[in-house]
Amino acid sequence: MASLSIRIDLHPEGSIGPGKIELLEAIHREGSISAAGRAMDMSYRRAWDLVDETAKICGRPVVASQTGGKHGGGAKLTAFGEELIQRYRAIEKAAAKAAKAQLAALQSGTQRSDEKNPVTSNAA
C-alpha cells in the first residue's frame, strides 16, 4: 500500500520528520531520553543529538531533562514539544487525506504496470 511521509523544513539546515516525532513520542511514553533511545534501537548520544537538533530548528526546547536523584533522572516533553507532535500529526493526517486518491491511483497504476512487465515485477 502506498503511503505518505511528511518532512517539514522549518530551518534552512534542518527539518522535522517522522523519526524526530517518533523519538519525542517515545520520550513522552518512556519518561527518559535513554529509554526512548533503547526503545527505538538508538544510542543515547544519537537520541540526545536529535532532541538538541529539534530544539535548535524550532528555536525552543522540546524536552526538559530532570536531574538524577534517588530514583534517577528522566525527561519529559515541554508544552511546545507536545504541541509539535500534535501539529505534526495533524499535518500528516490532513496531507494523507488530501493525497489518498492520488496515492491509490499511483498504487493501482504500479500494480498494473508490474503485471504487464514481468521483468520489473520480478526485480527486487
What does the domain layout of the chain look like in residue ranges? Answer: 9-117
- Exposed/middle/buried for residue 70 (C-beta within 10 Å: 0-12, 13-18, 19+): exposed
Number of H helices, E strands in the chain: 5, 4
As a whole number of angstroms, the distance between CA 3 and CA 35 comes to: 29
The neighbour count for residue 36, using CB atoms within 10 Å, is 25
Cell numbers that stand for 14 in this block: 534542518
Is-above-0.85 flag for pTM? no
Cell numbers that stand for 60 in this block: 525552543
- The answer as to CATH 2.60.120.260 being correct for domain 9-117 is no
In order along its 124 residues, the chain shows pLDDT tens digits of 778 899 999 878 799 999 999 999 999 999 999 999 999 999 999 999 999 999 999 999 999 987 765 666 799 999 999 999 999 999 999 999 999 999 989 888 766 655 555 555 454 4
